[in-house]
Structures are given as C-alpha cells and as structure tokens.
Amino acid sequence: MEEMIRKIYKPVLITWIVSALCYLPFIAKGLTNSVDGLWASTYYQAGNIELGSGRWALLFLDKARLGYGAEPFSTLLALLFLSMAAYISISMFMDIRKSNYVYAMLITCCTSTCCILAYRFTSANYCFGVLLSVLSVYFVLRESDEKKVRIRNTIIAIAILIFSTGIYQVDLGVFAVLVILNMMKLIYKEDNRNCFRVFKVSAVVFVVSCILYKIAWNVCMMARHISASSYNGADSVSVFGMLSGIPSGLCVIYKAWSDYFSFTQGNYVLAPIRAFVAFVLFIALFVVGVRKLAKQPKNAIIYGILWVLLPVAANIAIILAPSMKTVMMQMTVPMAFALPLAMCFLDEIGIIRKWTISALCIILLYGNIFAVGADIDAMAQGSNSSNMIMNNIAVTLNQKQLLSDDYDYAFFGNISANELFKKNELYDMASPYAKFGTMQTKPDMVHKSYIGLLDDIGLDLEIVDNEKYLELYDSGILDNMPAYPEEGSIIEKDGVVIVKVSDDYIFGKYG
C-alpha cells in the first residue's frame, strides 16, 4: 500500500490540479443542477430520505463533515478522491507513467463526473464511495502466501465495499467493472489460477458485502423507525425480484451502455467519431483476446463471456434493483471508468501502437472537455437567468407591498419557460442534468426548486405546503392568470401570494 501511494501521489496531485482548472468556472460560481443540487443549500445533513433509499452511510459522512457542503471544499475534495480512484485503477493494468495523465483525465473530466459534482451537497461523499470501491478491488487483487494475510485482505475488502455501497449502490458497478477487466487481463496472460482466485475472492466479497450492507441498512432504519422508500425500487429488493427481473434488466443495461457510448446526451464535439472510436476499442478488446486464446477454446470462451458481461458489471445496480427502468446520468460513473481502463489494458499489452492509442485518447478527451464546458456554461446561464427573474419578482412583490411575513407564497411554472429566461445555443446542446432552470413539475419538486432559488438570492419566504399547492392548482385560478412579468401574474388570495412564473406548470394528475 505504501509503495502504491509513493508511485501515484505525484500524478494524482497533477491530475487533481488540472481537473480543478477544468472545473474552475463551476467552482467559482458555486454551480449546481436544478434538482437535488439546488434543493440542498451549502449546509446539508443526510436524513430519512437518504436512509430510506439505502444510502445509510451518508448519514455518518455528513456528521463527520458537520454538514458543510460549500465551494471550493466540496468539488476539490471530490476531484481529489476521484483522481486517487483513477490512478489506483490504472495501476492495476499498467505501470504509472506520463501517458497515464490522459487516461485519468478521461475519468475526472467527463459529463458523468460533472453530473456528480453538480450535486454539490454530497459530491465529495459520492466520489469517496467510488474511491472505496476501487480500494476494495485493490485488496481483492493482493496476493499472499500467508493464509492470515489473505483472510485479512478479504475482510478489509468486504468492510470497504459495505461502506461504499452504503454511500451509493451504483458504486458496486465500479467494483464489478474493475474485477471483470482484471479477470480479462489474467485470462489474456493465461494466468488461470490467479484468475480463478480473483473470481472466487471477488464473488465472496460481493455477496457478503451485499448481505451485510442490507443488514446494516435494516438496523439503521429500525433505529430511526422508518421503512425503505419506493425510490428506484429500494423497497422491493428481493432475490426472486432480481432473478425475475434479469431479462428486462438486461435490456435496460445494454441500451444504457449503447446510449452512453453513442455520446448523444451532451455537446460532444465529433460525437460520431467518438462513438466509432469507442466501438472500435471495445471490439479490439474482444478480438485481441479471442485471437490470442484461439488455441485454448476454454479460455477464449471465458474471455468472451467476461467481455459480454462488462456492460452488466457497469450497471449491476439495475440487476440488484430491477424496478429501476432507466440509468440516470449520475449512475454512469462505472461506465466512465470502463473505456479508459480498457484502453490501459490495450496499451499495456502492446497490441495498438503507442501513438495510435494516444491519438484516440486525445480525441476522446477533446470531446470530453467541450462537453463538460458546455454543461458548466448551461448551468451558469440557467443560474444567472433564474436568479435575475427571482430578483425581479422580489422587487415586484415589494412594490406591491406583498413582501411580508404575513403571507405564504406559491410559485407556479417552469422558470426556464419564462420569457425573460436568457439562454443561447450551448444551453440547448448541454446534457439534460445541466439545464439549470428546467424544473420537474411534480408539486414537491416545484416547491423545493423555488425554495432553492430563493435561498440563492438570499430571500427567506414561507412557501405553501403540497396540500395547499394542489388546492390552488385544482382551483383553476391559474388558467386566467398571465405569466410573469405581465400585470396580473402576481395576486394575493386568502393570505397566499400566488406567482405564475410561466405557463409551463401542468403536471398532469400530480405525476
């Protein structure tokens, strides 16, 4: 462990600094997404919501950092954890050298990472979970002739993976991707004995960790007298459910894999070329192994099966929680690891020339930087416009003498649909998560979004509860109101100030 730290500390430091420069506008402006990132302020303590969805470890981590989630602390710490995770992963496939910087940057500077960072209040926690998953694999791979040492390493790997899963269940995908790729490497080198050992140990670590994670989760829920929530199927996890959900889960998994590496969600420069490069690299990963092992059919079949299972490994959370029908952007970090590490594998075995692999890396990183830049700019545009509109509304409320503790407030409408909301082409090209101001229309989400926007401009107003919100919506009073800034867009009724921010406020029957 000490030797590994000595090897990676310098490249980790350099990658961390360069990554921080890439995200400098993001850090300086304190940007977030317009869902959970906006809803939580710079002070946040995880509670029953996180616990109910299985992320019980967040309660302990938030206590450890006293709920502090402001910039630059959150993003810098998150990037440090991710840089460490990237280099420990890379060191499993090749010696640390200067070319590794590009591989690491493909992980730290991508839309998956930017999406995680946009959850400012917990981004450091999520990236710490990724690091723990990587460390768990590190201990799985460690060999020793002493039985006592092997048992100790296995116990450490289990303990680390339990806590990592308690931070975010998706981190199991990082563990699984690293295990699959390392097994492919060992089969390629015809080291069947060690490959079987890794499979056996990782299977034990995975199964035992999942069982103990579930026990720890149940204990935490009992202590707080709550039950599992329905979010992403957290309350319906069972062995039968996993088995019966495999066919539909596989469809979701392979579609998510295809969508992710087609680079259509985001402003990816040269997206078709990038998609072609990713396709060629994954095909090369398959072909080089099968060709080399052609005279060993058993090994070739094992290698091929592992290759087919790589997307499943990255999205293992879909199998464990079959009620999930989609892979959200914040769940794609395991896939963000898959391609750079596959390239490390191909680079190390020397099948593809150094200059070729370097050129492909640069093409991918070039697109990553532009995609992340567009996402950051979209968040900045949305934040600036939203804050400007909310400031104008506050001024109007004051002019109408409706800015008072005597009133409750109800804001209706997606703020990005307001005629004053300024955006350019980059906003439309950005990833969906980055389009700050584009609100979901469920009542509780609308409430949280406007509370967050009021917090951003430093204004404390009492927002009505969901029941009152729905009552106003169903009353039909909004139908005859124009959208802000038109006269009549702000009215007072029975002690509630109603503000129709835009005409985009219809959410069906609350779904």
Residue 242: predicted pLDDT: 66
User: What is the rounded distance in angstroms from the CA atom of residue 278 to the CA atom of residue 261?
Assistant: 7
Distance of alpha carbon 84 from alpha carbon 140, whole angstroms: 18
Q: Looking at the chain, how many residues does it have? A: 511
Whole-angstrom distance, CA of residue 16 vs CA of residue 80: 6
Residue 508 pLDDT: 55
CA distance 159 to 212: 9
Q: Secondary structure of 28-43 in the HEC alphabet?
A: HHCCCCCCHHHHCCCE
* Res 312: pLDDT: 96
Phi, psi dihedral angles at 364 (to 5 degrees): -65, -45
* Residue 234: per-residue pLDDT: 58
Amino acid at 169: Q
User: Tens digit of pLDDT per residue, the chain (511 long)?
Assistant: 677 777 788 899 999 999 999 999 999 999 999 889 999 888 999 989 999 999 999 999 999 989 998 999 999 999 999 999 999 999 999 887 777 889 999 999 999 999 999 999 999 999 999 999 999 999 999 987 788 999 999 999 999 999 999 999 999 999 999 999 999 999 999 999 999 999 999 999 999 999 999 999 999 999 999 988 766 655 556 666 666 677 888 899 999 999 999 988 777 778 888 899 999 999 999 999 999 999 999 999 999 999 999 999 999 998 887 677 788 899 999 999 999 999 999 988 877 777 788 888 888 999 899 999 999 999 999 999 999 999 999 999 999 999 988 999 999 999 999 999 999 999 999 999 999 999 877 777 888 899 999 999 999 999 998 888 888 888 889 888 999 999 999 999 999 999 999 998 877 544 4
Instruction: Please report, for the chain, the start and end positions of each structural domain, with discontinuous segments joined by +.
Output: 2-352, 398-500
CB 80 within 8 A of CB 19: no
Q: Pull the structure tokens for residue 84.
A: 């460490």
Which position has the token pair 């702000």? 490
- pLDDT score of 453: 94
Kindly report whether the global pTM for this prediction surpasses the value 0.85: yes
Place of tokens 């709920």: 67
- pLDDT given for residue 4 in this prediction: 73
Q: Determine the pLDDT at residue 172.
A: 96
The token duo for 300 is 């070739």
Which residues, 6+ apart, have CB-to-CB distance to 404 below 8 Å? none
